[in-house]
Chain A
C-alpha cells in the first residue's frame, strides 16, 4: 500500500481505489466506504452511493467535465503514469482555478523529488510510489523557500515578494 502524505504529513488513508471490472465493463459503485472511482464510472452511475466518493482523472482527461460535480465529490485524484509526464501539473492548476477546494491527490509514479512542484500546482495529498521513503519525502517541501513566480500555493507576483527597489537612476530602460 502506498504511503499517503497529506498536508505535508504522513496520514492514514481511508480511501480505496476501485479498479475497472474484470471483464473491462463498468463496476458497480460500492454502497459504503470511501472509494476513488474512474471518471467513466462516475459519469455513468453518479447518483447511487452511500459513502464518500472521489474521482480518478487520467492525465488525458479534461478536468472541466467535473465542474458541476464538485459538491458531490470528496476527493479528486490525478494519475501520473510516469513522473516525467507533466500533464498532471496543468490539470491540477485547472482544477484549483475552477474552484475545487477539496483534497487533490497525486497517484501513480509519485516521487520525492517532484513533491515541491506538485504542491505549488495545487496538490495537497500524495500517494507515494511504493519504494519511496516517506520520511525522506517529507523533506521535499522545504526544497525552496522563495519561489519566483505565482502559482496555486500563493498569490505572490513576480518581484513583489522582494525588497523595496533601489533608486533606478542607473538602470537599463525596458521601455
Chain B
C-alpha cells in the first residue's frame, strides 16, 4: 500500500474544505449551476437519473482493508447499502445527497482517500493492471510510477480544463494487461540496450464513438523525462485539441487529424524547451515515493505447496476455481486470487456493505490487508499463501464471491447503463443478467472457454464493448432500446476493435444471438484450445453473420415474396 505522508494528507484535507465551501456556495445560490458543474465533476460528482452519483478514486486499483470497510460505512450511512465497482477501477455510490457529499469526502480522507479528478476534462485516475507489482513477468514495479504520475497530475494547474477527459495507463510488463493501447497515453515499461529503465509511449488510443488503437509516439523515453515529456504531449493537446465538438475533442482525433509524425514533431519541439528543467525526475524523488509503499512481510515458502496438489485432485470444484481465479505470484509459495463480483442475479460490479466488510476481513486474514480492484469489476487478494487457498475458497464460496468464471463468458463487463446513467440509450445490467441466466450451466461455460463479453449502454463505451470478443452496444431507435452486436475485439498487446455483425436487435433477442454466435464457434473451432476470438479472427465476421441472420433474412425474403404474390 502507498501510505500518505503529511503533505498527501494535507492536500486531501484542503480538498475537503474546498469542496465543502463550493457546495455551500452552490446551495446558497452564490455559485451558479453552470459554474459549479465542472467543479463537482472534477470531484467525481454527477447528477444522475435518480440522484447524484459519487465516484471515489482508487488510485491504480490499490486498496487496504480499512478503505474497504470505509466503503461499507459510506454505503450504509449515506447510500442504500451498496456500491458499484466501475471499469475504471473506481467505486461509485449511486444515492448520496449533495449536501452530505463533503462529509463523505471527510470520512474518506480519514483512510487516505478522495474523489479527485474521477471525472471532468482533466487527467483522470492513473491505472495499472490488477497484478501490478506481483506478477512474475514485470520489468519494473508500475505502482511506483503510477504514484509519481498521480502526484504530478493531482490538481495540475494547467491541465484542469483540457478539451476532454484524459486517461493514462501504465504497464510494468511486456504483456499488456492494463489496456494501455486504448488510453489517451499508454506507458509500457521497458529497458534499453544498456539496461536502463524507460517507457515506450503510446498516444491517441481510446474507445468511445471513434475507437482507435494508440500509436507509438516514442520508442524509448528515459524515466527521468517521464513528466516533462507528458507535459509536452498534453500541452500541445491543450492548445490545439478541438473544442467545437464534444465527440472530436479527445487527443486521438487531434493525432489522427494532424498525423502521428506531425504531432510527434510538435511534441518534440515543445519538449526541447522542457527537457532537464523543473519536473525532471531524480533517483531521490522516485526512491522517496517508492519508500512510502509498504511491502507485505512475505514468508519463506517452497515454490509449490504439496498439500495444494492433493486438494486440487480431490476437490473438482476447487480445482476449477483454482484454474480460473488464481494467478501466479512472483514470490514463491504465494498466489493472487480474484474474488468474483459476477454471479447470476447480481449486476456486475455491485457489492453490498455486508459483503464489503466480509471482503475486508478476508483481506486481513489471507492477504496482509491488501486488495486490488480490476477493470473487469472484480476484486483481487494479491498476496495469498498457496497453502491457504482451499480455506479461502471455502469462505469466499460461502459469501458468493467464488464464481469460477474469470475470463469466461459470464464474467461480463457492463456499465451502469440506463438504470442509472442519464446518457444511456439502453439498459446494460438487465442484458448482462439475461445472458448470465442463459449461460447458467458452468460446465458449458467452461467448455466454451475464454471469452470476454462487454456491454455499454451508449457510445461513451464505459463497458468497453469495442474490445470485447463479443461486444454489445445499446442504441436508440425511435426512442426504443436496441442492441448492436460486434465480434472480434480484444485488449492487450494485440488490441483490436470489434466489428459490428449487422442490424441491431431487440433486447429480448440478445441472449439468442449470443447463443447462436457461440453455437457457430463451437462447431468450427479446430480444438478446445482455439478460443472464440481466434475463430473470429480466422474466419472473419461473415460466417457468424450468416449464422445469426440467415434465418431471419430468409424469413423476411419469404414474407416479401408472399406479399408480392398476394
Contacts and interface: CB of A to CB of B under 8 A. Distances in A.
A159 B285 contact: yes
B258 interface: no
A146 B492 CA distance: 38
Contacts of B158: 86, 89-90, 93, 117, 120-121, 151
A160 to B, nearest CB: 7
Contacts of B239: 87, 90-91
Contacts of B161: 83-86, 89
Contact of A172 (B22, B121, B143, B282): B143
Contacts of A175: 140, 197
Interface stretch (B3-11, B213-221, B311-319, B440-448): B3-11
Nearest to A169: B291
Contacts of B31: 113
Given A133-B30, A149-B279, A159-B285, A143 B18 contact: yes
Interface in A70-100: 83-87, 89-91, 93, 97
Contacts of A158: 148, 151-152, 227, 279, 281, 285
Interface in B25-44: 25, 30-31, 35, 38-39
Contact of B14 (A89, A143, A151): A143
A174 B238 contact: no
Given A97-B273, A175-B140, A113 B290 contact: no
B200 interface: no
Contact of B11 (A86, A146, A150, A170): A146
Interface in A12-34: none
Given A93-B235, A111-B35, A172-B290, 8 more contacts: A84-B38, A86-B162, A143-B14, A144-B14, A159-B151, A171-B291, A171-B292, A175-B140
A98 to B, nearest CB: 10
Contacts of A170: 294-295
Contacts of A141: none
Interface centre among B6, B280, B289, by most chain A C-beta atoms within 10 angstroms, is B289
B285 A160 contact: yes
B157 A167 contact: no
Interface of B: 5-7, 10-11, 14-15, 18, 22, 25, 30-31, 35, 38-39, 121, 133, 140-141, 143-145, 148, 151-162, 197, 223, 227, 235, 238-239, 243, 273, 278-282, 284-295
Interface in A23-80: none
A167 B288 CA distance: 9
Interface centre among B161, B293, B295, by most chain A C-beta atoms within 10 angstroms, is B161
30 contacts: A84-B38, A84-B161, A87-B238, A87-B243, A90-B238, A97-B273, A113-B22, A117-B157, A118-B157, A144-B11, A144-B15, A146-B10, A146-B11, A147-B155, A149-B151, A149-B279, A155-B278, A157-B279, A157-B282, A158-B281, A160-B285, A165-B287, A167-B291, A170-B295, A171-B292, A171-B293, A172-B293, A173-B290, A174-B197, A174-B223
Nearest to B241: A87
A161 interface: yes
A148 B278 contact: no
Interface residues of A, number: 49
Contacts of B39: 113
Interface in A118-164: 118-121, 133, 136, 143-151, 155-163
Contacts, number: 151
Contacts of B278: 150, 155-157
B235 to A, nearest CB: 5
A162 B9 CA distance: 12
A109 B102 CA distance: 26
Contacts of A119: 157
Interface of A: 83-87, 89-91, 93, 97, 111, 113-114, 116-121, 133, 136, 143-151, 155-163, 165-168, 170-175
Contact of A159 (B30, B140, B284): B284
A165 B160 contact: no
A173 B140 contact: yes
A160 B293 CA distance: 17
A167 B287 CA distance: 10
A25 B269 CA distance: 35
B157 A172 contact: no
**What 8 A-B pairs come out closest when comparing CB atoms?**
A86-B161, A120-B157, A159-B285, A174-B144, A150-B278, A117-B157, A168-B291, A165-B288
Contacts of B159: 86, 89
Contacts of B141: 172-174
A87 to B, nearest CB: 6
Contacts of A173: 140-141, 144, 290
Nearest to A159: B285
B152 A148 contact: yes
A165 B155 CA distance: 23
Contact of A151 (B30, B157, B238): B157
A118 B160 CA distance: 10
A87 B159 CA distance: 9
Contact of A89 (B7, B11, B238): B238
Contacts of A83: 35, 38, 161
B11 A148 contact: yes
B526 to A, nearest CB: 43
A86 to B, nearest CB: 3
